[in-house]
Amino acid sequence: MTVVLGVDPGVTGALAWLDTNGRLEITDMPTVELITSAGGKRRYVNPGPLIEHLQFYRATDAVYLERQWGQKGDGTIQAFGIGDAFGCVRTAVMATHLSYHLVAPGTWKRWVQCPPKKKGGLQRARELFPAYADLFKREKDNGRADAALIALYGLAQLGKVKLKWNVERAAAR
Protein backbone atom coordinates (compact mmCIF):
# COMPACT_ATOMS: atom_id res chain seq x y z
CA MET A 1 0.00 0.00 0.00
CA THR A 2 1.28 3.45 -0.91
CA VAL A 3 0.50 6.53 1.21
CA VAL A 4 0.88 10.07 -0.11
CA LEU A 5 0.56 13.30 1.82
CA GLY A 6 -0.85 16.28 -0.06
CA VAL A 7 -0.23 19.66 1.53
CA ASP A 8 -1.91 23.01 1.02
CA PRO A 9 0.65 25.01 3.03
CA GLY A 10 -1.25 28.17 3.97
CA VAL A 11 -2.60 29.02 7.41
CA THR A 12 -6.02 27.98 6.10
CA GLY A 13 -4.48 24.93 4.42
CA ALA A 14 -4.48 21.29 5.40
CA LEU A 15 -2.64 17.98 5.35
CA ALA A 16 -4.30 15.08 3.50
CA TRP A 17 -3.04 11.49 3.67
CA LEU A 18 -4.42 9.31 0.89
CA ASP A 19 -3.57 5.65 0.38
CA THR A 20 -4.10 3.32 -2.56
CA ASN A 21 -6.99 1.62 -0.72
CA GLY A 22 -8.93 4.89 -0.86
CA ARG A 23 -8.55 5.84 2.81
CA LEU A 24 -8.33 9.61 3.27
CA GLU A 25 -7.34 11.38 6.50
CA ILE A 26 -7.27 15.16 6.73
CA THR A 27 -5.88 17.46 9.38
CA ASP A 28 -6.29 21.22 9.22
CA MET A 29 -2.99 23.08 9.22
CA PRO A 30 -1.93 23.63 12.83
CA THR A 31 -1.67 27.34 13.53
CA VAL A 32 -0.93 29.70 16.37
CA GLU A 33 -2.25 33.22 16.84
CA LEU A 34 0.36 35.78 17.84
CA ILE A 35 0.16 39.46 18.74
CA THR A 36 1.88 41.71 16.21
CA SER A 37 4.08 44.68 17.10
CA ALA A 38 1.15 46.95 16.24
CA GLY A 39 -1.04 45.14 18.77
CA GLY A 40 -3.09 43.19 16.24
CA LYS A 41 -3.39 39.42 15.94
CA ARG A 42 -2.03 37.27 13.14
CA ARG A 43 -2.10 33.50 12.55
CA TYR A 44 1.02 31.56 11.65
CA VAL A 45 1.70 27.91 10.86
CA ASN A 46 2.71 26.24 14.14
CA PRO A 47 5.76 24.05 13.38
CA GLY A 48 5.70 21.96 16.60
CA PRO A 49 2.30 20.29 16.07
CA LEU A 50 3.00 20.13 12.33
CA ILE A 51 6.16 18.08 12.91
CA GLU A 52 4.23 15.84 15.36
CA HIS A 53 1.62 15.12 12.66
CA LEU A 54 4.34 14.32 10.13
CA GLN A 55 6.16 12.02 12.57
CA PHE A 56 2.92 10.21 13.49
CA TYR A 57 2.43 9.25 9.83
CA ARG A 58 5.96 7.92 9.29
CA ALA A 59 4.66 5.40 6.73
CA THR A 60 4.13 8.23 4.23
CA ASP A 61 5.82 7.30 0.94
CA ALA A 62 5.94 10.81 -0.51
CA VAL A 63 4.80 14.34 0.24
CA TYR A 64 3.41 16.58 -2.48
CA LEU A 65 3.63 20.18 -1.35
CA GLU A 66 1.94 22.97 -3.27
CA ARG A 67 4.58 25.50 -4.32
CA GLN A 68 3.81 29.02 -3.16
CA TRP A 69 5.05 32.43 -4.28
CA GLY A 70 3.92 36.02 -4.10
CA GLN A 71 1.80 37.20 -6.99
CA LYS A 72 1.34 40.54 -8.64
CA GLY A 73 -1.11 42.49 -6.55
CA ASP A 74 -0.17 40.84 -3.24
CA GLY A 75 0.69 43.33 -0.55
CA THR A 76 4.00 42.99 1.27
CA ILE A 77 2.41 41.59 4.42
CA GLN A 78 0.37 39.08 2.44
CA ALA A 79 3.37 38.01 0.35
CA PHE A 80 5.51 37.61 3.47
CA GLY A 81 2.77 35.56 5.15
CA ILE A 82 2.53 33.22 2.15
CA GLY A 83 6.30 32.76 2.10
CA ASP A 84 6.49 32.29 5.86
CA ALA A 85 3.83 29.55 5.86
CA PHE A 86 5.38 27.78 2.86
CA GLY A 87 8.86 27.94 4.38
CA CYS A 88 7.64 26.63 7.72
CA VAL A 89 5.87 23.66 6.13
CA ARG A 90 8.75 22.83 3.81
CA THR A 91 11.21 22.97 6.72
CA ALA A 92 8.99 20.69 8.85
CA VAL A 93 8.78 18.16 6.01
CA MET A 94 12.54 18.28 5.52
CA ALA A 95 13.16 17.93 9.27
CA THR A 96 11.19 14.68 9.34
CA HIS A 97 13.23 13.29 6.41
CA LEU A 98 10.18 12.59 4.27
CA SER A 99 10.61 12.50 0.50
CA TYR A 100 8.86 15.52 -0.96
CA HIS A 101 8.00 17.07 -4.30
CA LEU A 102 6.93 20.64 -5.04
CA VAL A 103 3.96 21.02 -7.37
CA ALA A 104 2.65 24.23 -8.90
CA PRO A 105 -1.05 24.92 -8.31
CA GLY A 106 -1.82 24.98 -12.03
CA THR A 107 -0.19 21.59 -12.55
CA TRP A 108 -2.26 19.58 -10.08
CA LYS A 109 -5.44 21.58 -10.85
CA ARG A 110 -5.17 20.77 -14.56
CA TRP A 111 -4.56 17.09 -13.80
CA VAL A 112 -7.62 16.74 -11.53
CA GLN A 113 -9.66 18.89 -13.94
CA CYS A 114 -10.47 21.39 -11.22
CA PRO A 115 -12.95 24.11 -12.24
CA PRO A 116 -11.21 27.51 -12.32
CA LYS A 117 -13.43 29.30 -9.81
CA LYS A 118 -12.39 29.64 -6.15
CA LYS A 119 -14.84 26.96 -5.00
CA GLY A 120 -13.75 24.67 -7.84
CA GLY A 121 -11.54 22.59 -5.54
CA LEU A 122 -14.41 21.97 -3.14
CA GLN A 123 -16.68 20.89 -5.98
CA ARG A 124 -14.07 18.57 -7.48
CA ALA A 125 -13.12 17.02 -4.12
CA ARG A 126 -16.78 16.19 -3.46
CA GLU A 127 -16.98 14.51 -6.88
CA LEU A 128 -13.75 12.51 -6.54
CA PHE A 129 -14.14 11.64 -2.85
CA PRO A 130 -17.90 11.14 -2.38
CA ALA A 131 -17.43 8.99 0.73
CA TYR A 132 -15.68 11.96 2.37
CA ALA A 133 -17.93 14.76 1.09
CA ASP A 134 -18.65 15.89 4.67
CA LEU A 135 -15.01 16.99 4.95
CA PHE A 136 -15.62 19.49 2.14
CA LYS A 137 -19.06 20.88 2.96
CA ARG A 138 -18.09 24.40 4.13
CA GLU A 139 -16.59 27.14 1.98
CA LYS A 140 -13.69 27.40 4.42
CA ASP A 141 -12.85 23.71 3.75
CA ASN A 142 -11.15 24.68 0.47
CA GLY A 143 -7.72 24.02 2.05
CA ARG A 144 -8.84 20.48 2.87
CA ALA A 145 -10.14 19.98 -0.64
CA ASP A 146 -6.94 21.27 -2.21
CA ALA A 147 -4.78 19.04 0.03
CA ALA A 148 -6.84 15.95 -0.87
CA LEU A 149 -6.63 16.74 -4.59
CA ILE A 150 -2.87 17.32 -4.31
CA ALA A 151 -2.54 13.90 -2.61
CA LEU A 152 -4.51 12.30 -5.45
CA TYR A 153 -2.21 14.00 -7.95
CA GLY A 154 0.76 12.64 -5.97
CA LEU A 155 -0.54 9.07 -6.14
CA ALA A 156 -0.91 9.47 -9.89
CA GLN A 157 2.66 10.73 -10.21
CA LEU A 158 3.81 7.57 -8.45
CA GLY A 159 1.82 5.52 -10.98
CA LYS A 160 -0.75 4.34 -8.42
CA VAL A 161 -4.00 5.82 -9.82
CA LYS A 162 -5.53 7.18 -12.98
CA LEU A 163 -7.92 10.13 -13.14
CA LYS A 164 -11.00 7.87 -13.16
CA TRP A 165 -10.61 7.67 -9.39
CA ASN A 166 -13.51 6.94 -7.10
CA VAL A 167 -12.73 6.38 -3.43
CA GLU A 168 -15.92 4.38 -2.82
CA ARG A 169 -14.96 1.83 -5.49
CA ALA A 170 -11.34 1.66 -4.30
CA ALA A 171 -12.43 1.18 -0.67
CA ALA A 172 -14.86 -1.60 -1.69
CA ARG A 173 -12.00 -3.75 -3.05
* Local confidence band at 29 (pLDDT 50, 70, 90 cut-offs): very high
What is the total count of domains within the chain?
A: 1
Domain CATH number, residue 91:
3.30.420.10
pLDDT at 164 over 80: no
15 Cα distance to chain centroid: 5
pLDDT at 63 over 50: yes
Decide: 61 and 99 in contact? Cβ < 8 Å. yes
User: What pLDDT digit, counting tens, does each position of 108-130 carry?
Assistant: 999 999 988 878 999 999 999 99
Q: What does the pLDDT read at residue 171?
A: 47
Domain hosting 47: range is 3-172
| Own/partner long-range contacts of 73-82 (Cβ < 8 Å, ≥24 apart) | 81/11, 81/42, 81/44, 82/10
Burial class (CB in 10 A: 0-12, 13-18, 19+), 110: exposed
